[in-house]
Structure 1
């Protein structure tokens, strides 16, 4: 039995609320250390726009283009095996998001679109959908997912999203589910495999760490969303089983609320993309970007 879109959305909402309640009970969900008055506004607006406008609009546009340009391919992949559907989504959705995320830490203009996600000086489920509105609208993985849905894989996408969002929500929460499991010796082989396969709180918190001097911080890597395996495969992984002492962006001036939501429409701070070390080692770039 396949999940419907409505069922998938309700399950994801339930997972989100479950982690939110854990944070509410143990780590002050709405009163995180060093949060600012703009944080809540940014998180609420970016979340609502993504879920209510951006994603549905992309799916609509892809479907409309498909109906006009290639109506014969609508539903063409509906009957493929589950493993084939999984492979397509892992490559064209999750791996594409890895490369988009990695590029966002390599090119100054793209980092300006992504910086809102890292400006928070805390970890929380609140960060899951926190990003510049334009960043999500341009995200290739959402467009690729729309194409796969048009080709008939909507039935698989609903279940895939539940698994992916469960991993992402858990990786962002400051109620780290992996911390107690590392202490259980019998689970050592399982955790060794898990932390090299999916994003965990320890590996993803490292990506959000503020100071490069902190041994637990690795904002130059750990870009994976569902699969941390992409970081292992492409050489950007760092596994420490520890957690940063602080979170956020170092060595950059503060960004305004307008910048974080709609840069470059609101490019108030001209120093936002200052030349500061922290970019991912790659092909020569015209400039380095800030860390975080």
Structure 2
């Protein structure tokens, strides 16, 4: 196992142990039998199949199209290399995530991530099995690795996954820092730069009338700056009262993992009329 994978696993386990100690990692409020299955299957699929497949496939495509470009950026300045990943991976993921909340068919690929009625490190890789295979940022990252930036990607991933795992953890690391008054200016900068529990939990909130909820925004993964830049940011320094989705029919195990092979159910109101999706 590569050193960066070991580092990410250690970070994941560290936050997991924190949840185990503080908030019952395996027995979340309102969780169902399907939740554990979706999380286990989607996480294993991404790490064992999808991500390695994309790295090899993108390299294969590039080798077929431009074999002379292999390793072409190997000597690139490290700051420029990081900038390339921030734009072609993280910003592209912002737009992919935003699109997933704008188009119903894409939301069906992403709904599994929001279906859980809790926050946890368990949600980090929770998605439809086809969602990551279609994510542009992963393919662009594969191309950058082919071009010789694999050494930068390793460090970039460690930082990115630390932020993302921390943002999903239900033991919010920023809560204590917000309570320290003299740190307020520092946190003002932090919360506008990277995703924090407060800003990302808002994106997972269940009810639109909850002042702390903003599920039509706060799409950033590593950088929350993209939300600030593109006008989708909401910062409250508070946390939603509950998590999940509202105004949608329950999603089956098959729908969460393998839509469109398993079509979604339609919610009906008290008059028997179909309720539109609020994605």
> Is this a same-fold pair by TM over 0.5?
yes
- Greater Cα offset, 59-68 or 230-239: 59-68
Aligned with 1:64: secondary structure? helix
Corresponding residue for 1:6? 2
Corresponding residue for 1:290? 278
Aligned with 1:133: secondary structure? coil
In 2, Cα distance between the equivalents of 1:136 and 1:250?
24
In 2, Cα distance between the equivalents of 1:43 and 1:290?
23
CA contact (8 A) 2:248 2:275 kept: no
Task: Report how far residue 85 of structure 1 moved.
Answer: 0.3
In 2, Cα distance between the equivalents of 1:264 and 1:34?
26
Aligned pairs for 1:92-241 within 5 A: 92-241=88-237
Match of 2:243 among 229, 239, 247: 247
Corresponding residue for 2:271? none
Aligned pairs for 1:69-108 within 5 A: 69-108=65-104
Task: Report how far residue 268 of structure 1 moved.
Answer: 5.1
Provide Cα deviations, 1:172-218, integer angstroms capped at 9, x if missing partner. 00000000000111211110000000000000000000000000000
In 1, Cα distance between the equivalents of 2:256 and 2:249?
13
The normalised TM-score by structure 2 is 0.96
CA 40–205 in structure 1, closer or farther in 2 if over 3 Å, else same = same
In 1, Cα distance between the equivalents of 2:31 and 2:133?
26
Gaps of 5+ in 2: 269-273
The normalised TM-score by structure 1 is 0.92
CA contact (8 A) 2:227 2:233 kept: yes
Where does structure 1 differ by over 6 angstroms across 4 or more consecutive aligned residues?
Answer: none
Task: Report how far residue 269 of structure 1 moved.
Answer: 2.1
CA contact (8 A) 2:119 2:169 kept: yes
Corresponding residue for 1:18? 14
Gaps of 5+ in 1: 277-288
The number of aligned residues is: 274
Provide Cα deviations, 1:112-160, integer angstroms capped at 9, x if missing partner. 0000000000000000000001011101110010010011100000000
Aligned with 1:203: secondary structure? helix
